[in-house]
Amino acid sequence: MKEAFHGSDLEKIEEIYGIPAKEIISFSANVSPLGVSGKYLEGIGERLHCVERYPDRGYRALRKALGGYCRAEAGHIIVGGGSSELIGAVIKHKKAPRALIVAPAYAEYERNVLIAGGSADLFYLKEGNDFEFDMEALCDRVAEGYDILMICNPVNPTSTAVSADRMGRLLEICDRLDTVCAVDETYIDFADDIYDVSPLTAQYRSLFVIRSMSKFFCAPGLRLGYGITSNEKLLSEIEENKDPWSVSSLSNEAAILMLSDREYIKKVKTYMSGERERVCKMLDDLSSSGISYIKPRANFVLVHLPEKGPSSRALFELAVRQRMMIRDCSDFKGLDDTYIRFCFMDRKDDDRLLSLIKETYS
Ligand SMILES: Cc1ncc(COP(=O)(O)O)c(C=O)c1O
């Protein structure tokens, strides 16, 4: 049986392929290559004693900093151990939820629905439509009646996105039917502002936006995510079911420092949009080899390989042996072994990966 790898499984790669984890460039974890913020590195040293105390149970300072960053009211924000904890918490806040998941999707959504004893229907973004959102069809499906709708925006793994101005009718239906519309914005910081639906939380009580410090701030080890909603009932139900101090004092302090680093935030945004454009141009040059891609909105791209050449798994193997880990997308429902996903890293690393793809399919 072939092994399945999550985007962050570098230690598993080390175990199986004998390549030291620290030598592998992870094109599959979708984490910014620019490292952590300078303000965090400068400031964290003098805050190390914070672990001697419990964090503020209400995380007041952190929620205020997050609210300032994403222009939301601090009172509408809940924090958790990565967006993972909040995905689990919102799905499980209702027993045996009936869920509709926009697919292809991050596998954790369905896993959490099943853990909660619920049932998951999938609404597929179609390959023939370049995995764009068909909002009319989605609205019709949601009108059938669900407890929760899970959308990833931008979508992992397709990197497509729906703009906030197209969400109105869907959210009206969700408000009317009491369906929680959970939008996972883990990758939103890399995308244009038009895709950010979080400002709509003030208007629609069904909307619960989930965000993360892991990817954009290059801090997956911090384990810090947050949710935004104006629905006080939902907020307190989730709060009641969560562990009280799931964000450590150190993560609390670190995140406040990172969020205050405006220059760093600008630098990451500028780098990533430039690199996205540069890599897309290089992919355009591979079109004569039968390689195509879905126009990316986030910091990663879904690439379609020629049907006749090596499969996604074969390319994964070739890349690993050159110390590059890409995502073989054959295990995503709605995709197959002609799809890979990779995130934009350092320019020279991206050049190396693109050369390998070129050599393999020319
Ligand atoms: C779409 C999506 N949501 C959530 C997560 C989990 O992120 P976190 O590190 O914030 O738990 C990931 C991680 O890969 C992801 O791709």
CATH number of the structural domain spanning residue 272: 3.90.1150.10
User: Do the Cβ atoms of 41 and 356 come closer than 8 Å?
Assistant: no
267 shares a domain with 256 = no
Last residue of a domain, one of 225, 243, 260: 260
178 shares a domain with 81 = yes
pLDDT at site 1 = 47
Number of structural domains, the chain?
2
Please state the atom number of ligand 1 nearest to the C-alpha of residue 156: 1
Per-residue pLDDT of the chain (362 residues; tens, 9 = 90+): 466 777 678 888 888 888 888 899 999 999 999 999 999 999 999 999 999 999 999 999 999 999 999 999 999 999 999 999 999 999 999 999 999 999 999 999 999 999 999 999 999 999 999 999 999 999 999 999 999 999 999 999 999 999 999 999 999 999 999 999 999 999 999 999 999 999 999 999 999 999 999 999 999 999 999 999 999 999 999 998 888 899 999 999 999 999 999 999 999 999 999 999 999 999 999 999 999 999 999 999 999 999 999 999 999 999 999 999 999 999 999 999 999 999 999 999 999 999 999 999 99
Asked whether residue 101 is domain-assigned, the answer is yes
Q: How far is the CA of 165 from the centre of ligand 1 (A)?
A: 25
The whole-angstrom separation of Cα 14 and Cα 16 is 6
298 shares a domain with 163 = no
The whole-angstrom separation of Cα 18 and Cα 292 is 32
Please state the atom number of ligand 1 nearest to the C-alpha of residue 29: 14
Closest CA to 330 of 343, 346, 317: 317
Q: How far is the CA of 223 from the centre of ligand 1 (A)?
A: 10
Please state the atom number of ligand 1 nearest to the C-alpha of residue 106: 1
Last residue of a domain, one of 208, 228, 260: 260
Residue from 26, 66, 78, 215 to probe ligand 1 pocket by mutation (most atoms less than 8 Å from CB): 215
Asked whether residue 320 is domain-assigned, the answer is yes
25 shares a domain with 90 = no
Asked whether residue 5 is domain-assigned, the answer is no
Q: What is the pTM of this model?
A: 0.96
Where in the sequence is the domain holding 15, given as residue range(s)? 10-30+263-361
Asked whether residue 191 is domain-assigned, the answer is yes
242 shares a domain with 275 = no
Q: How far is the CA of 249 from the centre of ligand 1 (A)?
A: 21
* Per-position b or e across 299-324, b if 16+ CB within 10 A of its CB: bbbbbbbeeebebbeebbebbbeeeb
Q: What is the CATH number of the domain that holds 142?
A: 3.40.640.10
3-state helix, strand, coil in the chain (%, to 5): 50, 15, 40
**Closest CA to ligand 1's atom 12:** 186
268 shares a domain with 248 = no
Please state the atom number of ligand 1 nearest to the C-alpha of residue 87: 4
Asked whether residue 1 is domain-assigned, the answer is no
Q: How far is the CA of 186 from the centre of ligand 1 (A)?
A: 6
pLDDT at site 3 = 67
The whole-angstrom separation of Cα 29 and Cα 194 is 25
Amino acid sitting at position 79: V
207 shares a domain with 329 = no
Asked whether residue 3 is domain-assigned, the answer is no
Name the phi and psi angles at 214, rounded to 5. -65, -45
182 shares a domain with 82 = yes
Q: How far is the CA of 149 from the centre of ligand 1 (A)?
A: 17
Residues 6+ apart with CB under 8 A from 92: 112, 115, 116, 241
63 shares a domain with 124 = yes
272 shares a domain with 250 = no
Asked whether residue 345 is domain-assigned, the answer is yes
239 shares a domain with 99 = yes
Asked whether residue 2 is domain-assigned, the answer is no
Last residue of a domain, one of 233, 260, 287: 260
43 shares a domain with 20 = no
